[in-house]
Amino acid sequence: MIKAGTETMLLTSASVARTEKNASLEVALAGDGFTARHPAKVVGKVPEINLVLIQVDLDDAVTPSTLVFSDDGALSEGDFVVALGNPQGPRGGASLGLLVGRSSSSMSEAPPMTPGTTEAAMAEAEAELEAEALKRGEEPFLVADAALVDGASGGPMLDADGAVVGISTLVISAGEGSTRYYAVSARRCLRAVEALVERRSLGVQTDGVRVVLLNDGVNKRERVAAVLAEAGLSDQASSFAMLSAHKTGRGVIGVFETAEEAEALRQALLAIDKRSQAAWLADSADGDGPAAKWAQDLRFEAEPCHFYRKEVGSAEEAGSAEDAGRRQLEA
């Protein structure tokens, strides 16, 4: 447990939670002897380093103990480290080892962001901070030989003084005698928590599916705008989508909670586009002449994304996921 802003939250490996953002789960804590199950929910993930921040609902009878991160930069290769966790079976397992190095490898790609939104701007700023950290030699992973058994991921890694220098996360084996155990460094953990706390001001991070317009460099702007307008986009949202498609290759049309909702919009857009093509050619004096090249099929795709919305019950309670997406587009 750590202090995240003004709240006490659980920071652990995302692979341990095994649930989607804003989904409910239960957490057992050492503070009450693992006897109770406390309701909790994921409020943010950083997939590149396999971290997740979890909000736990605690009653007054439970006083969680929080850990404070130390500066892992003071560690040198050969220094002792201790990996703590709750592996399958025994409670409170510990493993002693040595720091053998550091690594800058990413565990997965960052999720796609909607260009032009507050979230995307935050992601760009965070990426710049990480680039600066790498230039300073602050690699995000500690590599040790302190063995991690099944179930120990997500626990703290301590130095010889008992200070937290990382969160254990990954085991890589390249053959007999070459197994290495990875932990997210304390400095990287702190930056991740700060970023997740800042993003909470946008609302709850939710997995969704977005429909995007792909740039084709052929169709006339007025025809594309007419298709988007018939689909229900405002002039501002249509302009933003077309501009983003031109600059980045894809412009966001709408954001939804489910793939079914996104696919419904995509199919509707394709149907509107077909009618638009027919009308464009019918109004063209040259029929199948040069004007035909300006009435090619528009390309729309549905792809996974993340978006933020205010929690239900708040002063700015969210409506549909589509509304949330539109608010992002107009931010």
Quote the pTM value.
Answer: 0.58
Residue 234's pLDDT is what?
84
Cβ pair 168, 185 in contact under 8 A = no
Query: What sign for the dihedral angle of Cα 6, 9, 15, 20?
Result: negative
Structure tokens at 246: 């031109």
One-letter amino acid at 33 equals G
Q: What pLDDT is attached to residue 324?
A: 37
- Cross-sheet strand order for the sheet of 299-309: 250-256, 204-214, 299-309
CATH fold of 72-201 reads Thrombin, subunit H (2.40.10)
What is the model's pLDDT at position 62? 72
Q: Cα–Cα distance between 189 and 51 in angstroms, integer? A: 8
What residue segments make up the domains of the chain, in order of their start? 2-56, 72-201, 203-329
CA dist., res. 18 & res. 54, Å (int): 12
Check residue 13 and give its pLDDT: 86
Return the structure tokens found at 81: 């480290």
Find tokens 């309701």 and name the residue.
Answer: 39
3 state SS of 331: coil
For 205, other C-beta atoms within 10 Å of its C-beta total 22
pLDDT at residue 321 in the model: 37
Question: What letter represents residue 2's amino acid?
Answer: I
**Cβ atoms 197, 56 nearer than 8 A:** no
Tens-level pLDDT at each residue, the chain (331 residues)? 776 666 778 888 888 776 555 556 888 877 777 788 888 888 777 878 888 888 888 776 677 777 778 888 888 899 999 888 776 655 667 888 899 888 876 555 555 555 555 555 556 666 666 677 667 767 888 988 877 766 678 889 999 888 899 998 877 766 666 677 888 999 888 888 888 777 766 666 677 888 999 987 778 888 899 999 999 888 888 888 888 888 778 888 888 888 999 999 999 999 999 998 888 777 665 545 556 666 788 999 999 886 766 655 444 443 333 343 333 333 2
Q: Tell me the helix, strand and coil percentages in the chain, rounded to 5.
A: 35, 30, 35
What does the pLDDT read at residue 201?
A: 65
Would the CATH topology of 72-201 be identical to that of 203-329? no
Distance separating alpha carbons of residues 97 and 51, to the nearest angstrom: 22
β-pairing, 7-13 with 2-4? antiparallel
Residue in 166, 4, 174, 22 with CA at minimum distance from that of residue 82 = 166
**CATH of region 203-329:** 3.30.1390.10
3-state secondary structure of 230: helix
**Cα dihedral 302, 304, 307, 310 sign:** positive
